[in-house]
């Protein structure tokens, strides 16, 4: 357990909690968490997850803009339904991304778990996009992805990060419950 990992865990927990609460300050905190995890994943050769952090950075900026515009007069972020067609397109995009990233990292890098890493990274991008678009179903995808992430991080010896993802499962359950109410 490195100080970098501890800082990433602490920052991420606070950022995800703020996301579940629909607080726009989740976005800058998530940027910090991405930077910390980019370096950590580079160190442990989880390259797809490392690149994912950079892509999350772009997605976070997008989400910040969308959420800033998608608020009621009260300042509360408005939750939008996920249309069936968008759900199908998202799952298809996640699958194609997993195949492409997995193929590339398994053939051209020394990635530790190329196919699992690629699949989780690809579907995390879908979940991030759905979160930025304020779809409550994003939390269901986060729950599924985070369950598998816990196992992967345990296999890599990243116990605090596995613990973070276990906490994130709980936060995602809370987020889904709260977003369903709105």
Residue range 141-167: average pLDDT? Answer: 94
CB distance 107 to 39 below 8 Å: no
pLDDT grade, residue 103 (50/70/90)? very high
Q: Are the beta carbons of 152 and 164 closer than 8 angstroms? A: no
Q: Are 124 and 145 in contact (CB under 8 A)?
A: yes
Read off the pLDDT of residues 13-62 as tens digits, 9 standing for 90 and up: 999 889 888 888 999 999 999 999 999 999 988 888 898 899 989 989 98
Q: Residue 69: count other Cβ atoms within 10 Å of its Cβ.
A: 9
Q: What is the pLDDT of residues 74-96, one digit of tens each?
A: 667 788 899 999 999 999 999 99
Structure tokens at 25: 């300050």
How large is the average pLDDT for residues 134-160? Answer: 94
Q: How confident is the model at residue 71, as a pLDDT?
A: 64
Global pTM? 0.83
Percent of the chain with pLDDT over 90: 63
Give the pair of three-digit tokens for residue 144: 């599924």
Mean pLDDT is highest, among 4-8, 88-92, 111-115, 167-171, for 88-92
Q: Has residue 177 got a pLDDT over 70?
A: yes
């Amino acid at each position: 357990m490195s100080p970098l990992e501890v800082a990433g865990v602490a920052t991420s927990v606070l950022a995800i909690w703020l996301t579940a609460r629909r607080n726009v300050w989740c976005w800058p905190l998530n940027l910090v968490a991405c930077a910390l995890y980019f370096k950590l994943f580079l160190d442990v050769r989880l390259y797809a997850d490392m690149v994912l952090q950079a892509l999350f950075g772009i997605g976070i900026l997008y989400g910040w803009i969308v959420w800033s515009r998608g608020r009621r007069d009260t300042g509360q972020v408005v939750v939008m339904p996920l249309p069936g067609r968008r759900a199908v397109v998202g799952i298809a995009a996640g699958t194609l991304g997993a195949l492409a990233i997995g193929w590339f990292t398994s053939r051209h890098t020394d990635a530790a778990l190329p196919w699992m890493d690629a699949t989780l990274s690809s579907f995390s991008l879908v979940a991030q996009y759905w979160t930025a678009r304020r779809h409550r179903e994003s939390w269901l995808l986060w729950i599924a992805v985070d369950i598998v992430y816990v196992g992967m991080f345990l296999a890599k010896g990243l116990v605090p990060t596995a613990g973070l993802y276990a906490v994130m499962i709980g936060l995602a359950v809370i987020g889904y419950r709260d977003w369903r109410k709105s």
